[in-house]
Structure 1
Amino acid sequence: MRKACLRGAAVLVWWGGVQVPLAIAQGAGATTERMDLPDLLWGQWGLLGLGLFCLILLLNILVLRRKVAERTQHLRNSEQKLAAILDNAGSLVYIKDLDFRYQYANRQSAQNLGRTPSEVIGKTDADLFGTAAAEAMQQSDRQVFDRRERIEVEESMTLPDGEELQTYLTVKVPLFDGKGAVMGLCGYSTNITALRRADEALRIAATIFESQEGMLVTGPDRRILQMNRAVYRLTGYAEGELRGQDFSCLQSGRNDAAFYQGVWSAVAATGQWAGEMWIKRKSGENYPAWVNIAAVRSPTGEITHYVSTQMDISERKAAEEEIRTLAYYDALTGLPNRRLMSDRLQRSLTNSGRSGLGGALLVVDLDNFKDLNDTLGHEIGDDLLRQVGERLEQCARRSDTVARLGGDEFVLLLDGLNSDPAQAADEAQRVARTVLRMLGQAFTLGERTHHTSCSIGIALYADASNNPDELLQRGDLAMYEAKAQGRNTLRFFDPRIQQAVAERTALEADMRRALVQQQFILHYQAQVEAGGRLVGAEALVRWEHPDRGRVYPNDFIGIAEATGLIVPLGAWILHTACMQLAAWAKNAETAHLILAVNVSARQFRHVHFVAELLEVLRETGADPARLKLELTESLLLDDAEAAIARMIELRTHGVRFSLDDFGTGYSSLSYLKRLPLDQLKIDQSFVRDLITNANDAAIARTIVALAHSLDLAVIAEGVETEEQRALLERFGCCLWQGFLFGQPAPADQMLQQISTLVAP
């Protein structure tokens, strides 16, 4: 055989765990000579090995590609899971490079900016938030890059979808490359705006808890858990002494068990109670407080705590008592005045109608008192009046009322007399003769001895058919008859004087015709503030009677109230007033005016009053906020809850409320707080003698202070002189109404009066 001359070497190669022999030629000039059988076989094996190697290489490549594909899919799955986790983390997650450009942003980060993640990537903070906010963010980024450590920082920004500043707690962590160099950062931001608000609310609550008002917290068993320092100050207990005690330890004997049962029943039913409550101090002393109790409930509706606040209202109660004393008692004699006497007379009339018992009103007037005042002076006269009051009280029974109406005129109200008119007259006459005898005895006035006498008029009553004013008028008429008969005597009311009643009946019939024939008109009296600026007016009704001429409200409003005619008359007044408001609104010079309208008790209590008034406002186009309803204290005290409900309903539509003739009735201060009022109106009876009567001045000043404490406006009516206006202004009353600024007149004349008043 011929031998092949092959210059080469056999090489063993490992691949995929298999040893492959390869014959590799050496040199480019290798030649092939005739090979013998072994050489031939060796060459064939080399080729076979090469083929096997290629096959194994191919298989390994396929396996490797499959593994790479599997790992790639695994990485994609992991990446998707991580993205899902980050997108639903509820926080902002992002990655920035060293140029502050976003390389990654989760979905929440992008949504906060009103963008998609792809729209965020590649942007800087300046692109997304503006230069100012970006500088603050990048300052903390630089700290991460420089310090190469994790930091926590609070960042504030305004998002594109709102104007409210949002606060985020951000954790920033540096990212490193394979060589340990910082390549960027990862940020994780959580919105803590609500948390910061809660912190602020807690701080505010803590501040409130330590306010001047007493505050305490009890458990559901009403045992005291927490209280502020004001409670210790108000109650006199030392710190810690109240903790664990039942709330009832603060209860006084001034409120009975039924009262407290009602309190807790209201809390259970409505979740809260507010009102006056007497609190017992550690010393045993009681003080009045305005208490508010509120129930705190768990999400399941169970009561977990009670929170109570209390404010000492001793000063207010004292002011209330002062107002009551000034308004209901005569400052000189300490006797009930005309207001209180009228109130008691009304109650006596009502009781008489129910029981059938009789009563009598004795009007006592001193004879020749003016001569005493003119000759000896007012101080001596006042001393005599005080002693007369004391002697009259000695003549009266405990159930009777002795009052001073003013000047030298007194009244004895005898209640519960015999049901037989003749016997009742005898009882009244016996008391009257006792008065004549007692007042006929000598008085010691300083170093002088003085003798006087009196004239007495007696008006009997046996039911509620008469009103107090009518009875007083009858008593006055009888008293004047006694004076006409020579003084120092008594006279009963003569029924022949009933001509006034007949005239009243005729006037009622005329009123009914007047409503049909439109004989009523409205006049307006200006309401003025400092500088003479017109701020509003009061609408006052006038009756243009074809025969009687002009009739004023004092002559017909009482009849309208008694007969029910006040309802249609009041409806006409409101409609006409609203039309005037609408007319004023069209003129820039009068558009600001507020119009006050008196509403009677009977009209306000009418079942359709609210609906009818709202319809009038809609029909006329008058602005409800320019309409002010003047209500009296007596109206609000009778059926109070219904009155308050009507006021609240009208208030929601913008209608304002003023408490008219304030001080002539009786309202507790705690009750006034419940009324949705805008204004108190000082009655003209206090303004009339404001300059000369210290008692009236004190009442006016107290009413102004009370209005200010309740955050109410205050206006005085009946202002006729500059001295009255100036004194009221010094008291703090800067709204006035009265003849000083013009008499009631048609709207155009009223405006002309004011323009003339303030003209230079």
Structure 2
Amino acid sequence: MVPTELGVSRSELLLLGQHLVGEELLRRAFEDSPVASFIADGEGRIVRVNRALCVLLGHAEADLVGAGVATVLPSADGASWRRWGTGAGPHGLTRLETRCLRRDGSCVAVELTVSAAGVVEDAPAYLIAQVHDLSRRGAAERRLAHQALHDPVTDLPNRTLFLDRLERGLRRHQHTGALLAVLFMDLDRFKQINDSLGHAAGDQVLIETAHRLREALRPGDTVARFGGDEFAVLCEDLDDESTAGEIAARMLRVVSEPMDVGEQRTSVHASIGIALARGGSDGESMLGDADFAMYRAKEKGRNRCEVYDATLRADALARMEQTSALRHALEESELRIVYQPLLRIDGSAVVGVEALVRWDHPTMGLLGPEHFIGLAEESGQMVQLGMWVLREACREVATWAPPPGGEPLLLSVNLSAQQLAGTGLRDSLRTILGETGLDPGRLWLEITESVLLDDVDAAVEALGRLRDLGVRLAIDDFGTGYSSLSYLRRFPVDAVKIDRSFVTGLGRDPAADAIVAAVVNVSRALGLTVVAEGVETDEQLVALRALGCEWAQGYLWSEPLSPTAAHRWIRARRPEVVAGRPLELGALLAQRVDALRRRTDRRVLLEVPSSLPACFADAVAVRIVVDHLLANAATYSAADRPVVVTAAADRRAVRVSVSDFGIGMSGDEVARCFEQFWQARAPDSPRTGGVGIGLFIVRSLVEAMGGHVGVRSAVGRGSTFTVVLPRSAWAAARVHSVQGGALDLGEPSSVQEFMRQIGVPMRGRR
């Protein structure tokens, strides 16, 4: 040991320094600890506090040091403090829950941990107290309890909490008899939003939907989210069963209102099933019943509600069996492809085929798509089914030889909404084209108009990706969304297919005439091919030709055929010759006048010479012309005056005149009455189309047969329409050579105005 000047060795100084450093470290650890702490002597006087305790209680250090522990712990007097210390022992701990007093007089629940430090005469010299704030722990526990019973995305009650409330409600129902209902709601096609806009956008839709449901429901109702796109609502104390339906209708209305999702504006719809509490109902069975009813609502067209009844469960079980059977059909090759020919409207050539799927059911026979496409969509099998059709059709048609003297056949295949919204369609399509060897330019993909209009921006992007592969695109069932005419120029498509419902109405429904004419004009102005589907009669075909439609398909030519039969039909097909033939006009006029007399009380006078010679014309076209002129005359003639039909002939032509003595037309109306979108005056109120479209068809048909039509009219004195038809093929051919062929789009004054109104510029075909 080496002495120092003070008589203290270096080792003693080192030990002293280490002791002082240790004390400083302990002091800092105590003062800086996040746990509120204080030290008191055996008599209960506070000798030291840390910053965390001062913050917790709102005191300054000087307020507490030297004060009794009762200043901090109201329940702790000197005796209890000593008892806590004695109970702790020299190395033990005492834990208890108590309350600390804050400076502002409020109390906070705490857990107190007391330990002894040092012993004097077998008693602790000091006690160290750690104070744990239980209010924070309580909040955390409450937060965890809330999370266990609520949906993390929408903060709505989850299935567990909903079932608990439902069971409580059912017990009340059994005691009081108050009516109770469960409404099970599923968003329609929600997966498309996730696939096209992303899951963040999907969550935003769920949050907004939850908010709207809260606002739409009664204060005592419970709305919960079960996961995915499923919501459930518990309604108690209903006035009657119809109240549940009213609540469901309100839910559908608020959910379907447009919402902003990021930079997109979109709309969602929902289907709702309703189950009402019956004797002996339990929560799980009610949810199952409501779920069955919801699926029935989807089957009936979505965006609607259905109430559960006993037959629904049996139907749902049958549906499950059908779903399993369809899955088996896909795996065991029970599906078949049939082909319907696609022809030029003049019958001159077969241009392609549309591939359609059938199910060769082992017990029910050959089923059309209406029996299983909806099932495939609901069960998630639509993409698999659609890709199978696409692959098989490409493989088969790629091996077919072109028609005699014709071009290679086009193949038209339908794409479902689920296929279009999927992420792998483009790659799968490229693979199929590569494997089958089909030229991409021969493949037409059809997408229904309603799918495109659900989200125009997403549709434009998806179609663009497909078109980059070289395939062609067509809008199917066009016309069902009439407002979509203005959107048409945005879609990168090559053709539109007019919905069969409008083709069926041609010549009978003025609205159908107007819509078909509008679709043809807009499509041709944009350079798109126009295809009519569902053509079944000669009258429809003649009207479509007159309006300028280019291609058509339907039972008028052929039903959908097996691959072998379709190929044989196409190779045996010979071009049609569209020509007139001698027609006894007198007999036809008498027949059409009799038909008018049977359906109207108007007097009709027919003045036709018995020696009226035949004309050279198409009987179907002449019948359409005469029927329209007679219907117009009956509509616009005066009630007390007859409609007069006369006929005469010279050596080149036969003339038929239809006269009324009604409201007549002005000079401007006479000049424009054959335009497609001329606004005619009805007896009671103005109307657009109908007469104008019909007269355009009349003029088109007459001129296509080598004739012409004229009109004389005066306001208040009536109108006379005269149709002149050639008596021979030579006369018809001579007129055609002078006219120079088929008509153009129509009179520019009306067509261009129509285009301007819907925002479509006129331009040549591309």
TM-score range with shorter-chain normalisation?
A: 0.3 to 0.5
Output the TM-score relative to the length of structure 2: 0.37
Structure with bigger RCO (C-alpha 8 Å, 6+ apart) = 2
